[in-house]
Structure 1
Amino acid sequence: MAVESPFRADVLRGKAALVTGGGSGIGFEIAAQLARHGAHVAIMGRRREVLDKAVAALRSHGLRAVGFEGDVRKQEDAARVVAATVQHFGRLDILVNGAAGNFLASPEDLTPKGFRTVVDIDTVGTYTMCYEALKYLKKGGPGKGPSTGGVIINISATLHYTAAWYQIHVSAAKAGVDSITRSLALEWGTDYDIRVNGIAPGPIEGTPGMRKLAPEEMAKGSREIMPLFKLGEKWDIAMAALYLASDAGKYVNGTTVVVDGGLWLSRPRHIPKEEVKELSKVVEKKRESDCSSFVIFGDQNWIANIFDRYLKAPSTRFEEMDIQQKIIHEMTRMKDENNRLRIIMRQYMGDGLASLTLQDVSNLEQQIEFSLYKVRLRKQQLLDQQLLEMHNREIQIPGEQSNYLCHMNLAGEQTQAAAMVDPKPFPLWDMGSQMYNQDAESSMTALQLSPQLHECELQPLQPNLQEANRHGYVLRL
């Protein structure tokens, strides 16, 4: 339901307006609101019966209105209607170009003739009306005071801001309308003090266009994806026109006002808000870290950034470990939200893991379980090899925290997993479904362990990681 107008009832008193396409829909509402706010209004359309009905409706409310039959595609009609309006009211102050043509058509089914028809009405028709109205609108001149010239309002759309299905013809036509708006605003604003602006409506309920292009079931779906969860009203567009036509918009020139409730900016919410909060915690921790690991999975390279997630205190590391487990759990459980989960994975780990299918994840889980078993069997053997003696040093990890990087071979393909341990002697930590030191809360999930382990040696970290922690080591299995 429309609310009361915020404008004074006489804000356009003494003005004369011509509205093309004013016999129905948005055009009629604009004509009605201009008239209710003091303007004398002429409406132009191709169908006499529609014009007569519209004029009768306006006059029934005591509004001064007249209708002229004509086609905006024909220059002679445009010239005749503009002249008739000036003759009837004695002046022309406001031109609203609302005439438009539209229908749904895929590009392969849209003939050049059909494409040209829409462009002729929307783009060429808009320019033709502006051209014929210029002589009456240019009341001012170079250097004159504000608002001495007339006002032009071109009705556009948002379709061409990105792209719209089955609307290539309208998108092209309205892009041309926006270009006309900007060009005339520059040149006629400079030379004749004429302000030229546009309005780009979104989906407006109760219009012929909405009924033709969006059946009721589609309209209901549109409400669900709109930021304001509702369709617009014709009144909303008319209020924008009043603003631009009145002195309230006297310094607005060359812009197209989008009145669509934010729809053209809207994107579906793939991740629930509560889950985003969890994601943000990880992001903040990543920003505080200087170091990240480069992970190879199969033949795909992707940045995991697991390494720097475990540089905080044990309690926060455990919290992050739970998030990792949640990802794997969600990918296997929520089959119907596979696409959403891929997006979540990209938030954490990049495109590598996000490209896995559900079957890949299932296989990966089986490999992980087998790896855990194999790793535990190898633990004692690794210790028995006395890795510490291989480097002639006792590994007492210095500093508050140190980082290890675990490399495994998986059928000839490298997999890497980052591990974090507290400042404890090396023999105190274990590898398995989780990596432990003596503090259980500092454990972490080893997501990329291999079931096929090979010989092991302890080497210093690669140079790029040495900068992050000069006392770390690489454990090669």
Structure 2
Amino acid sequence: MPFLPLDGHVAIVTGASSGIGLEVADALAAAGAAVVVNYHSDADAAEELVKRICDRDGRAIAVGADVSDEDAVVRLFDEAASAFGRIDVLVANSGLQKDAAIADMTLADWNTVIDVNLTGQFLCAREAVRRFRAQPDDARPARSKGCIVTMSSVHEVIPWAGHINYAASKGGSRMLTRSLAQEVAADGIRVNAVAPGAIRTPINKEAWETPEALEQLLRLIPYGRIGEPDDVARAVVWLASDDADYVTGTTLFVDGGMTLYPEFRENG
């Protein structure tokens, strides 16, 4: 029998119907976890992933919920607990972009990005902490009482002109993660972030879909290749497992070196 580092765990992955979230949910299931595949609008893609997991004898359900809606978040966790009995891992992945220069950005575009990317992480993390604290210790499958992984970005540290709502949400996510980790560590709850760089997903297709765009992008990546969703998923699986039990309050950058500011390589 293969070793399954998340055997017996129950994981919620928000925004799991596409891109990084879908790959993370699939990888958690492959590592042994029962997975709650959260989606906002694409029910078909979420159900397709659930079928794929169940076809290989995994456990999964799809639950539609808007993570920026407080009542919807509570319902998401209720459905997860009803289906699988407990919750051990939250991957707060939901995120979006609404890009514009500052002079052209509407308040609605600002609020939408902050509401989903940052407030959504707060609402999900708050509910996860409440559930982790209330669950009996004798039934938990891990050394920790619970694990939260927030999905950040290299733009928690790299400024991004023309995307200030997105960059602000990720900068806020960084301090949410660190401050929450400090607050709940004594409860045995671990909180970390994964910060992807340029990953081959639909959200940034314009940056890699042509050879010219990809060549320009690769100038920002010292490692010389664009990331794949699986690169991020494997990092999340590790952070969620007991292999990372002594890791909390940190951001794991999965970026091929993008945060090394490669523009300075010839200017040292």
**What's the counterpart of residue 166 of structure 2?**
170
Deviation at 1:211, TM superposition (A): 1.2
Post-superposition Cα deviations, 1:106-153, rounded to whole Å, max 9, x if no partner, equal 111111110110000010000001112222212479xxxx82410000
Question: Are 1:21 and 2:15 counterparts?
Answer: yes
CA distance in 1, matches of 2:147, 2:53: 22
AA aligned opposite 1:40 = A
Aligned 1:219-368 pairs, distance under 5 A: 219-268=214-263, 271=266
CA-CA distance at 1:212 after TM superposition? 5.1
Identical residues among aligned pairs (%): 32
- Whole-Å Cα distance in 1 between the matches of residues 51 and 44 of structure 2? 11
- The residue that corresponds to 2:143 in the other structure is 147
Cα offset, 1:270, TM superposition: 7.0
Q: Which structure 1 segments of 5+ residues have no match?
A: 1-7, 272-342, 348-477
Aligned in 2, Cα 1:43/1:268: closer, same or farther, shift over 3 Å? same
User: Looking at both structures, which has the greater relative contact order when contacts are Cα pairs under 8 Å and sequence separation is at least 6?
Assistant: 2
RMSD (CA atoms) = 2.0
Contact 1:147/1:194, CA 8 A, preserved across alignment: no
Q: Write the distance in 2 (CA, Å) between the matches of 1:34 and 1:163.
A: 31
CA distance in 1, matches of 2:12, 2:206: 26
Q: Which of 88, 97, 102 matches 1:93?
A: 88
Q: Distance in 2 between matches of 1:11 and 1:130?
A: 23
Counterpart Cα distance in 2 of 1:112 and 1:97: 24
Higher Cα radius of gyration: 1
* Cα displacement (A) at 1:160: 3.4
- Report deviation, 1:194: 0.6
SS in 2 for 1:232: coil
Post-superposition Cα deviations, 1:343-389, rounded to whole Å, max 9, x if no partner, equal 7xxx9xxxxxxxxxxxxxxxxxxxxxxxxxxxxxxxxxxxxxxxxxx
> Which amino acid letter does the alignment assign opposite residue 159 of structure 2?
A
SS at match of 2:262: coil
Q: Is the 8 A contact 2:68 2:119 kept in 1?
A: yes
Instruction: State the one-letter code of the partner of 1:170.
Output: Y
CA contact (8 A) 1:103 1:213 kept: no
1:172 Cα offset (Å): 0.4
Amino acid at match of 1:102: Q
1:189 matched to 2:185? The reply is yes
User: Normalising by the residue count of structure 1, what TM-score does the alignment of the two structures yield?
Assistant: 0.52
| Map of 1:78 onto structure 2 | 73
Structure 2: distance between partners of 1:71 and 1:125: 8
Aligned AA (1:186) = Q
Alignment partner of 1:203: what SS? coil
- Residues 130-186 of structure 1: CA distance to partner in whole angstroms, max 9, x if unpaired? 112222212479xxxx82410000000111313113211111001111111111101
Question: For structure 2, which runs of at least 5 residues remain unmatched after alignment?
Answer: none
Report whether the alignment pairs 1:11 with 2:5.
yes
